[in-house]
Structure 1
Amino acid sequence: MTDTTLVQGRYRLLDLIGRGGMGEVWRARDESLDRQVAVKCLKPVNTRQDQSVTGVLRERFRREARVAAGLQHRGVTVVHDFGESDGALFLVMELLEGRNLSQLLEDNRHHPLPVADVVEVAGQVASALAYTHRRGIVHRDLKPANIMRLTDGTVKICDFGIARLGRDVTFTSRLTGTGIAMGTPHYMSPEQISGGQVDRRSDLYSFGCVLYEIATGVPPFDLDDAWAVLMGHRHTVPLPPRSHREDLPAYLERLILDLLAKQPEARPQDARELGRRIDEGRTPAAPAPSGAPGRVPPAAPAPTTPPPPARPEPTVAREPRPPSWTRGMTTGHKTTGTGPRLTPPDASAGLTGEWIARPAAGRAEEPVRAERPTPSPELIATLAERHNAGLSLGRLGRWTEAGAVHRAVAAEREHALGPDHPDTLASRHEVGFTLSRTGRPADALREFAHVAHARERVLGADHPDTLAARQEMAYVLGRLGRHHEAHQAYASVLAARERLAGPDHPDTLRCRHNLAFTLSRLGLLEDAYRTASEVAAARTRVLGANHPDTLVTRFEVAWALGQLGRWPEALQTYEEVAEARSQALGPDHPDTLAARHEVGISLGRLGRSTLALPLYRDLVDDRARVHGPDHPETLRARHGLGVNLGRLGRWEEALAESRDVCALRARVLGPDHPDTLVSRREVAVGLGWLGRWADALTEYRSVAEARERVLGADHPDALASRNDEAHCLEQLGRGPEAVRLYRRVAALRQQRALGGA
């Protein structure tokens, strides 16, 4: 949207006043009521690449916007209107004049706010939360940037309900380095991190983190890595606030620490209790004078990267500190709302015009400057912003557009910084990622190989960025069917990750998960099952049972069980994953629907098609509603429906379903696509069961010829189709032809076996 836009013929956009991960905020004029308002324009949702979440997002937007519009409290931002314009969802809100708490901390050079201001913010926010919580509404993303102090002193909470929309958009993209795709690490409750039940007490924990920061100048877990922050929330008692600031009243310190209790039941149970305790603590002696600043350390020249201040170990801490591998990386600024960093790292943090290369073996370590002029800060900032725009497009599934952005940025960074600069390589890494996601694994492999070799030369073989590129190489090797090479690559990366980061680091567990997947594709099913089970247990212990990463691995455990023929156990695991995903991600999330599909497959394998049939009917309806009637996943669910109709002996219905799905797949995917050929074979099966063997022969032969043409005459799928054809010839009384075909298939199989040996 631009400053000439008239939204829905009523709201004239005047000037851009904010931009974030979800979209833009504009100062606007309501031309019907002649008043100034704020218009928040969320990212467009009508792109073809994002159809899988469009319907769900629109519906949730309307629901959440209605909820937000129904809130009427002095401490909550008023929502006037909402709708959709040119593919972008928008909200019309009251225009607030003031600064959010994040900006106030920035203005104060991250020194704590005056005690009187901290207490006033606490009291007003407690009142607003008491109001919203009584209505059953939980914010889920309280942070300094979402709490505004107006020029008249009023404190308002922003983005009620809308924060969840951002989570819904980004959850369908690849997960971040920690697997967390919601909330902001410095302000997340332990139960939110673990994927547990979130209620009003989670908001109170997040607000405790906010109070800690505005009262001390630092968040409760001021660590350098997103994973360390998350583990701090779950396992570490924070330093008492008065260890940072001696003039903080004791009652306020006690209240903040109570809000930061690990277990929800140990916190104040509602915001009314919080407000009551704040009121009880307000005494003439408690707050500092209104204009008195908090304790400020002596001014000193700030180095470019200041070392963290030395702090005493807390005497009250009885829980373990985060492990050593959680230190030494970056998450970005605490109060800007940035989430956990991506892998590879987000280039907006730490872009520089010069860098230090790894010295060659045996040489003394000396700073090596790039052999080119240092580019201007403006150019670096522009390239970082464009790089992040490419990442945002990827999160929305718009991989083709993201690839174009990353290729352009990579070329400009190479020109400005050099081909081996870490930021250039970060852009080329993202180019490889977009190639992988747009069906070009061979091109992606070349790109990742270049990045891996360059990073090894510049950063070292064991640098996390080098290992990230090598792991992506392994992934695309698997996509290319080169599973032996993928296995070797994963095993090599895993050994390095375990040695450097430890067995429970998220990157180590991710690599072991991928290794389990590759083992299953190599037919090493027992090894795959054992490895996946170990990873699932570790992720349950570290992340929680309902964390998305844990559920992904449990899904892999179920798949291995099915391949081993242990279908009752596979069914139980799939059902548990489907239920957990429904609660954590929502019933319409693609991962939830995928688990439900596997439940249907397991029921069919166990001969329980009577139960599988209604499951598939519901799944077809849900897939069609979420993705559309012609989406490949909708057609896959319809294929399962047809198969189970056949298993119940309802062959006329099964044949009709198979023919319809086959025609749709031919149009959407192409006549020779593997899924289309699977459906055509199902048509032949139905014809055979109905005794129409001549028609079945035509279909079987068509499938066999297509598979030979695409896969080769000795491919297992092509040989299986020729076997189907021979069986059909037998049914038609054409025994000699069937025998000749069986012999041909046997010879090709023997030839393939000898070639493989």
Structure 2
Amino acid sequence: MGDSRLIHGRYRLLDLIGRGGMGEVWRARDESLGRYVAVKCLKPLGAPPDRSSARLLRERFRREARVAAALQHRGVTVVHDFGECDGVLYLVMELLQGRDLSRLLEDDGGRPLPVADVVDIAEQVAEALAYTHEQGIVHRDLKPANIVRLADGTVKLCDFGIARLGHDTGRTSRLTGTGIAMGTPHYMSPEQIGGDEVDRRSDLYSLGCVLYELATGTPPFDLDDAWAVLVGHRDTPPEPPRSHRAELPGYLERIILDLLAKQPEQRPRDAREVARRITAGRTAPAYAPAAVTSRPAPRTRGPVAGGTRLPSWTRGMTTGPKAVGTGPHGTPADPGTGLSGVWTPRPGPDPAGDSLPAPDPAGEPVPGQRPEPPPEAVAALVGRHRAGLSLGRLGRWTEAGEVHRAVAAEREHLLGPDHPDTLASRYEAAFALSRTGRAADALRAYKQVAEARIRALGADHPDTLAARQEMAYALGRLGRHVDAHRVYASVLAARERVMGADHPDTLRCRHNLAVNLGRLGRPEESWRTAREVAAARARVLGPRHPDTLVTRYEVAHALGRLGRWEEALHAYEEVARDRAQALGPDHPDTLAARYEIGISLGRLGRSARALTVYRELIEDRARVQGPDHPETLRARHGLGVGLGRLGRWAEALAEARQVCAIRERVLGPDHPDTLVSRREIAVGLGRLGRWAEALTEYRRVAAARERVLGADHPDTLASRDDEAHCLGRLGRTAEAAELHRGAAAPRSRPVC
């Protein structure tokens, strides 16, 4: 096909990007929507025995294409369209910016991948397979070439259903003399080799073969000819992966060997179980403590530290105990793997006001055009970009930011300020600023990236929308919820228009909008929107997908804000149960839902039951995360509050003192959590009639909040009210009245 051919009057083929036994894959432009896509053109059907056979093949293709198009999961390549043109069957898919695992291994000289990458990929593929298997779909041709890793680390499965179509059209390779239709022998299950009916457990075996190769550099049976490979799959136990590579973790070897069991019933029950085992085995990231205040406050989002963490493909999804942002890599992948062809900026004015010269079709340099950068320099920056991403995944955000800023400066010099790779590094630098609490700096950086992406990619490009969505998150962190709402609403409208209402990124934006509505004091709208998002995510991703559970958690939180605590309690209990089954009982998100159960019970006056919940939670958090972990201390704080509600003030005071001392040592004397505990000490002292001591504690809290937050901050004013109340109990009414007047004055000022 010529590179100017127009398929179905809509898809213009531009560059051939792949060729295989079943056809070709082209980079193309969707002229109707103005976006770039990948078009897979299957080989012409040729001359089948009769018209009936050709009609059956076409119908089978349409059926398989519809199945593939119905899959909606960030770990599965999106199929936009399909059809037939001049006897050629074609599929239109999202254009992926990354490399398949086969190329990834080849580009690294056949060496195995780093252990962390193997685990990361294994986790993502298992989750994607779990989703597709739950839809009743079996891949049947899982191999490294059908798994693509994007620039941000997201992993996508390709060619669902198409492998099965290939068997029907007779285009798969066959082993000489066997008469068995073959895919790729290195990754086939024993039952597939024997021609038996296969189910999802065959995909699990193929996954084991893929992981074995990623971990060791070779497939489990890397023999001289196809027949020997098949005999190995059927009859020979694989060598343990650690016999090739000693540093592989034991849990990973066990999973791989279990996947490679000869009998399907001896393999893991399903891909969801595989994903859970991987999640349980991987190392927890570093912890970034979350702030606690005496009133509802935004909770941090992103991978939650301590214990295990969410599957890596949920990076970028709203996760964690109270997610409110778009998260790391929460959008379609930013470029970052280096140039995969010539990047052509949009025509438009350059900074000096002149038009940018169009590229010369003959490939000759145009006066004023940036020369092609040295490939080795681009590759070196790719490696450094990935190192920055890895630092971020480990929670080392300050170091990650330094790396991304340095890479951004060098990419700007080498590739230009508006090149997608340059903007990818600037985006990641902004994200690091956000994660280190520098919301104002992050907002400025995101705004610059968004403006540059509008110039280079267009206002509705997914990467542009990603930067704008992070702007909204930063605005929310700065307390500018009205501005955040405007940006979220604008991004949501664009995502719905470009991606569709049920696309995972669209639903993520709606989730964030729901959370922000709560911050705006619009709890009814927040609850209604969150409920709609939860229903959509359950339909698209599944009822127990981590994203769905996060939104169901937000529904419960909104119910609490509405004072509907009985319903909130029921919702939190369901989320805790489903998280325990989907993520494990010790996962931080599961523990977070259990904490909210304790809060809800306390609000309903069921303090005795709340104490039981808190005690069990403290024991589990201490075991999983450690006795001094901020979340363990938060559960202990809840226990102290519950003791007070039961009138056991001496015990409550003792608990508050212990928690405060640990928080002061771990978090610092002015940390919001520490100050909340200090206030609880003052409350306990007052309840015990020790008002003079209580006054000292209240004043310490008020002075610290004024120093850290400012005199007019609501928390500071609340502390001054506490101090005035204490003075009144001591009979010092004139001082109390003066404090009350001083605290009331800022509240009465008009808002500019």
- What interval of TM-score do these two structures reach, taking the shorter chain for normalisation? 0.5 to 0.7
Report the equivalent of 1:473: 471
Q: Which has the larger displacement, 360-369 or 456-465?
A: 360-369
1:634-661, CA deviations, whole angstroms, 9 ceiling, x for partnerless residues? 2212111111111122111110111121
**TM superposition shift of 1:696:** 1.3
Report the equivalent of 1:239: 165
Tell me if 1:184 matches 2:125.
Answer: yes
Report the equivalent of 1:665: 663
- The one-letter code of the counterpart of 1:245 is R
- SS of 2:501's partner is coil
Report the equivalent of 1:73: none
When residues 445 and 226 of structure 1 are mapped into structure 2, their CA distance, relative to the original with a 3 A threshold, is closer
Give the one of 387, 390, 408 matched to 1:389: 387
Report the equivalent of 1:549: 547
Give the one of 252, 256, 267 matched to 2:199: 267
- The one-letter code of the counterpart of 1:578 is A
- SS of 1:756's partner is coil
When residues 363 and 489 of structure 1 are mapped into structure 2, their CA distance, relative to the original with a 3 A threshold, is same
Distance 1:348 1:267 in 2: 37
- Residues 684 and 697 of structure 1 are in contact (CA less than 8 Å); yes or no, is this contact kept in structure 2? yes
- Residues 258 and 268 of structure 1 are in contact (CA less than 8 Å); yes or no, is this contact kept in structure 2? no
Give the one of 474, 480, 483 matched to 1:482: 480
Distance 2:434 2:152 in 1: 27
- SS of 1:239's partner is helix
When residues 691 and 236 of structure 1 are mapped into structure 2, their CA distance, relative to the original with a 3 A threshold, is farther
Distance 1:355 1:475 in 2: 30
- The one-letter code of the counterpart of 2:751 is G
**TM superposition shift of 1:629:** 2.6
Give the one of 628, 631, 635 matched to 1:630: 628
Tell me if 1:347 matches 2:335.
Answer: yes
- Residues 189 and 202 of structure 2 are in contact (CA less than 8 Å); yes or no, is this contact kept in structure 1? no
Tell me if 1:456 matches 2:458.
Answer: no
Report the equivalent of 1:90: none
**TM superposition shift of 1:288:** 9.7
Tell me if 1:423 matches 2:421.
Answer: yes
- Residues 531 and 552 of structure 2 are in contact (CA less than 8 Å); yes or no, is this contact kept in structure 1? yes
| 1:639-678 equivalences in 2 (<5 Å) | 639-678=637-676
**TM superposition shift of 1:221:** 11
- Residues 446 and 468 of structure 2 are in contact (CA less than 8 Å); yes or no, is this contact kept in structure 1? yes
- Residues 348 and 385 of structure 1 are in contact (CA less than 8 Å); yes or no, is this contact kept in structure 2? no
1:496-551, CA deviations, whole angstroms, 9 ceiling, x for partnerless residues? 11111110111111111111111111111111111111111111000001111111
- Residues 220 and 238 of structure 1 are in contact (CA less than 8 Å); yes or no, is this contact kept in structure 2? no
- The one-letter code of the counterpart of 1:460 is G
- The one-letter code of the counterpart of 2:629 is H
Gaps of 5+ in 1: 1-107, 113-142, 149-157, 171-179, 275-286, 292-337
Distance 1:721 1:694 in 2: 16
- The one-letter code of the counterpart of 2:123 is M
When residues 109 and 662 of structure 1 are mapped into structure 2, their CA distance, relative to the original with a 3 A threshold, is same
Report the equivalent of 1:756: 751
Report the equivalent of 2:695: 697
When residues 231 and 680 of structure 1 are mapped into structure 2, their CA distance, relative to the original with a 3 A threshold, is farther
**TM superposition shift of 1:414:** 1.4
1:411-466, CA deviations, whole angstroms, 9 ceiling, x for partnerless residues? 22112111111111111111111111122222211211111111111111111111
1:651-689, CA deviations, whole angstroms, 9 ceiling, x for partnerless residues? 111101111212222232222222222111111111111
Distance 1:209 1:225 in 2: 25
> Pairwise CA RMSD of aligned residues?
4.5
- SS of 1:706's partner is helix
- Residues 445 and 473 of structure 1 are in contact (CA less than 8 Å); yes or no, is this contact kept in structure 2? yes
- Residues 221 and 232 of structure 1 are in contact (CA less than 8 Å); yes or no, is this contact kept in structure 2? no
Distance 1:224 1:374 in 2: 21
Distance 1:567 1:239 in 2: 53
When residues 573 and 289 of structure 1 are mapped into structure 2, their CA distance, relative to the original with a 3 A threshold, is closer
When residues 289 and 567 of structure 1 are mapped into structure 2, their CA distance, relative to the original with a 3 A threshold, is closer
- The one-letter code of the counterpart of 2:483 is E
Distance 2:448 2:415 in 1: 17
Distance 2:462 2:531 in 1: 25
- SS of 1:374's partner is coil
Report the equivalent of 1:28: none
- The one-letter code of the counterpart of 1:493 is V
- SS of 2:124's partner is coil
- SS of 2:165's partner is coil
When residues 447 and 692 of structure 1 are mapped into structure 2, their CA distance, relative to the original with a 3 A threshold, is same
- Residues 539 and 545 of structure 1 are in contact (CA less than 8 Å); yes or no, is this contact kept in structure 2? yes
| 1:138-177 equivalences in 2 (<5 Å) | none
Report the equivalent of 2:347: 359
- Residues 146 and 158 of structure 2 are in contact (CA less than 8 Å); yes or no, is this contact kept in structure 1? no
- Residues 151 and 334 of structure 2 are in contact (CA less than 8 Å); yes or no, is this contact kept in structure 1? no
**TM superposition shift of 1:618:** 2.4
**TM superposition shift of 1:716:** 2.3
Report the equivalent of 1:742: 740
- Residues 209 and 220 of structure 1 are in contact (CA less than 8 Å); yes or no, is this contact kept in structure 2? no
Give the one of 410, 435, 438 matched to 1:437: 435
When residues 220 and 740 of structure 1 are mapped into structure 2, their CA distance, relative to the original with a 3 A threshold, is closer
- The one-letter code of the counterpart of 1:725 is E
When residues 606 and 451 of structure 1 are mapped into structure 2, their CA distance, relative to the original with a 3 A threshold, is same
Distance 1:535 1:509 in 2: 6
- Residues 354 and 417 of structure 1 are in contact (CA less than 8 Å); yes or no, is this contact kept in structure 2? no
Distance 2:536 2:348 in 1: 37
- SS of 1:722's partner is helix
Report the equivalent of 2:608: 610
Distance 1:639 1:435 in 2: 30
- Residues 449 and 469 of structure 1 are in contact (CA less than 8 Å); yes or no, is this contact kept in structure 2? yes
| 1:539-618 equivalences in 2 (<5 Å) | 539-618=537-616
Distance 1:549 1:272 in 2: 24
- The one-letter code of the counterpart of 1:184 is V
Distance 1:181 1:634 in 2: 30
- The one-letter code of the counterpart of 1:345 is A
Gaps of 5+ in 2: 1-17, 23-99, 106-111, 207-224, 230-311, 316-328, 361-365
When residues 193 and 516 of structure 1 are mapped into structure 2, their CA distance, relative to the original with a 3 A threshold, is farther
- The one-letter code of the counterpart of 1:189 is L
Distance 1:603 1:633 in 2: 19
- The one-letter code of the counterpart of 1:583 is Q
Q: Which has the larger displacement, 720-729 or 656-665?
A: 720-729
Distance 1:246 1:365 in 2: 47
Q: Which has the larger displacement, 385-394 or 617-626?
A: 617-626
**TM superposition shift of 1:597:** 1.3
Distance 1:737 1:423 in 2: 61
- Residues 571 and 599 of structure 1 are in contact (CA less than 8 Å); yes or no, is this contact kept in structure 2? yes
- Residues 344 and 429 of structure 1 are in contact (CA less than 8 Å); yes or no, is this contact kept in structure 2? no
Distance 2:447 2:344 in 1: 22
Report the equivalent of 1:679: 677
Q: Which has the larger displacement, 529-538 or 435-444?
A: 435-444
Tell me if 1:506 matches 2:513.
Answer: no
**TM superposition shift of 1:710:** 3.0
When residues 354 and 540 of structure 1 are mapped into structure 2, their CA distance, relative to the original with a 3 A threshold, is same
- TM-score (structure 2 length as normaliser): 0.61
